Amino acid sequence: MAKATEWADFVIIGAGSAGCALAARLSEDPRVRVALLEAGGRDVSPLVRMPAGVGNLIRAKSAYNWGFETVAQTNMNGRRLWWPRGKGWGGSSSINGMIYIRGHARDYDQWRQMGLAEWGFRDVLPYFKRSEHNERGGDAFRGEGGPLWVSLAPVGNPLYKAFIQAGRQAGYPLTKDFNGAQQEGMGLYHLTIKDGERWSAAAAYLRPVMAERTNLKVISGALASQILIEKGRAVGVAYSAGAGKQVLSIRAEREVLLCAGAVQSPQILMLSGIGPAEHLKQHGVAVKIDAPDVGENLQDHLDVTGVYECTKPITAYTMTKGLKQFAVAAQYFATKQGAGRTNHLHAGAFLKTRGELDRPDVQLHFVNAIMMDHARHKPDRDGFTIHACQLRPESRGTVRLDSADPFDDPAIDPNYLASETDRRTMRDSVRMIRDIIRQTALTPYRGAEIMPGAQVQTDSEIDFFIRAKGETIYHPVGTCRMGRDERSVVDERLSVRGVEALRVVDASVMPTLVGGNTNAPTIMIAEKAADMILGRPPLPPEDVTIAEDRAPGRI
């Protein structure tokens, strides 16, 4: 191993949502030197900046997308599923759908009930608020003045309004703010878009401070291969750089902070000798800490779609077909106006499949376009798509090494649909989509059902459709689980058990998957971790009233 030629107080691995936020907060203290290692490069692509570029970013492996695949899924016809994950500055916040959702308050209270005393909703709310600048101003639930710009999606296209009205006609409530007192219901999403530009974690936290902070250094093109451990303490990071994959290292005087995400954080721990002992030995990795739960507890939101023709030429297809796509791009880059400034995903819902539930268990995303196979299917007509995902799956999967080569992808096994509850919930979500679609508010726009297709009606037929067409909606968590028990990978202060000066700070520490998109919660974790790392007292808990969600899911 090459001798470390550089040093920092804190070495952060990964410039994704958590890494960007953590680097910015730690470097606020000019006495602290921070080094941020990122395997990718700067977020310079026009497709990253333009919200409508999201479809191009998620569909293929690229400089901005690791482009993973799962192992063959036993309960999904043996399919290997496409798993986009962000690469480069901003990580997945540079290729995601830009939906700002925190999850339900009871998700975090559940963590508190698991013994994580500082992670209840009243404890984490101040950090959500500190991170946020809501363009409509702050209130008891929303933040103002933070780095992460959050805007309310415009109603705009009449399809969004019709979808929300159809949900009301189907008997579901309306909510003004999915991140406020009542998550349940139909409504408009809040988006991480500022003035028509994607507002990733890099845009929010990293780019604004780089020029002025000499104590913050970002090392791009640096693939972390191993956390260096001496006498039970993390002392630095080895990484490969440049086309020749030269192995370099950097020393951490205070702590190593692993922010590589739910896929690569456990991979890096295992490559460093921290993981299930027998598994490490199989790949020739010297065992430093036998940590059997590293890579366990993988959870993700499985997604199915209802896809429909639209009888009016008002969808993204008509706006961008043929040569119009060049006009859209030209207009956007000249004025930041037009179809390029939107993600075409403005409305959604959080609903219950059963009235006795204490919080919604299904999330809907309404897309003003035909969206199939991660946008790899090119639409040939006007249409719209309703995504449905189960918010709290019972199924648990794993991330494992496929080899000891850090350049090889790990083996990802989400183990989708292993639970009968998961299968039932997904089946019910298909029926909920159809129930909303048949309402009169959508009659002027509703054409033929493309997916699942009118012939798919029985339980077994719907189950077959889900196995054949279900996909990730990009929310993996849990593989470096936080907990009070000795098997948990990190404790409630995110310190890796058995190793000094090493923490994991990203979505992998979530013990359970939250009810919603995971970018905002990941940033919250980094905000809270920064205070822990610097020895600052936590922000004071805030008392707010959450609407009672035990009422029936329909009104």
Look at residue 504 and tell me whether its pLDDT is greater than 80.
Answer: yes
Q: Which of 515, 553, 512 is nearest to 389 (CA)?
A: 515
| pTM score above 0.95 | yes
* Residue, of 316 and 148, whose pLDDT is higher: 148
Q: Which of 313, 315, 331 is nearest to 323 (CA)?
A: 331
Domains, the chain, in order of start with CATH, read 154-188+302-390+417-469 (3.30.410.40)
pLDDT band, very low/low/confident/very high, at 179 (cuts 50, 70, 90): very high
Average pLDDT over residues 455-482: 98
Q: Which of 467, 530, 443 is nearest to 494 (CA)?
A: 530
Tokens for 206, please give them. 């990293």
pLDDT band, very low/low/confident/very high, at 548 (cuts 50, 70, 90): low
Tokens for 255, please give them. 């702590």
Look at residue 555 and tell me whether its pLDDT is greater than 70.
Answer: no
Tens of pLDDT, residue by residue over 247-292, are 999 999 999 999 999 999 999 999 999 999 999 999 999 999 999 9
Tens of pLDDT, residue by residue over 301-332, are 999 999 999 999 999 999 888 878 889 889 99
Look at residue 550 and tell me whether its pLDDT is greater than 70.
Answer: no
Question: Which of 344-368 are b and which e, b meaning 16 or more Cβ less than 10 Å from the residue's Cβ?
Answer: bbbbbbbbbbeeebebbbbbbbbbb
pLDDT band, very low/low/confident/very high, at 130 (cuts 50, 70, 90): very high
Tens of pLDDT, residue by residue over 377-418, are 899 999 999 999 999 999 999 999 999 999 999 999 999 999
pLDDT over 70, % of the chain: 98
Average pLDDT over residues 142-159: 95
161, 251, 390, 427 from 449: Cα distances, Å: 20, 58, 22, 17
Per-residue pLDDT, 3:
58
pLDDT band, very low/low/confident/very high, at 156 (cuts 50, 70, 90): confident
Q: Which residues are catalytic?
A: 475
Per-residue pLDDT, 323:
79
Q: Give the contacts of 121 (CB within 8 A, at least 6 positions apart).
A: 105, 106, 107, 108, 109, 112, 546
| Calpha distance 37→168 (Å, rounded) | 48
Q: Which of 155, 520, 107, 178 is nearest to 351 (CA)?
A: 178
Please give, one letter per residue, the 3-state secondary structure of 472-514: ECCCCECCCCECCCCCCCECCCCEECCCECEEECCHHHCCCCC
The reply to whether omega before 552 is within 30° of 0 (cis) is no
Per-residue pLDDT, 382:
96
| Calpha distance 269→339 (Å, rounded) | 43
Tens of pLDDT, residue by residue over 41-100, are 999 999 999 999 999 999 999 999 999 999 999 999 999 999 999 999 999 999 999 999
Per-residue pLDDT, 243:
76
pLDDT band, very low/low/confident/very high, at 242 (cuts 50, 70, 90): confident
Average pLDDT over residues 147-172: 96
Per-residue pLDDT, 468:
98
Q: Share the mean pLDDT of the chain.
A: 96
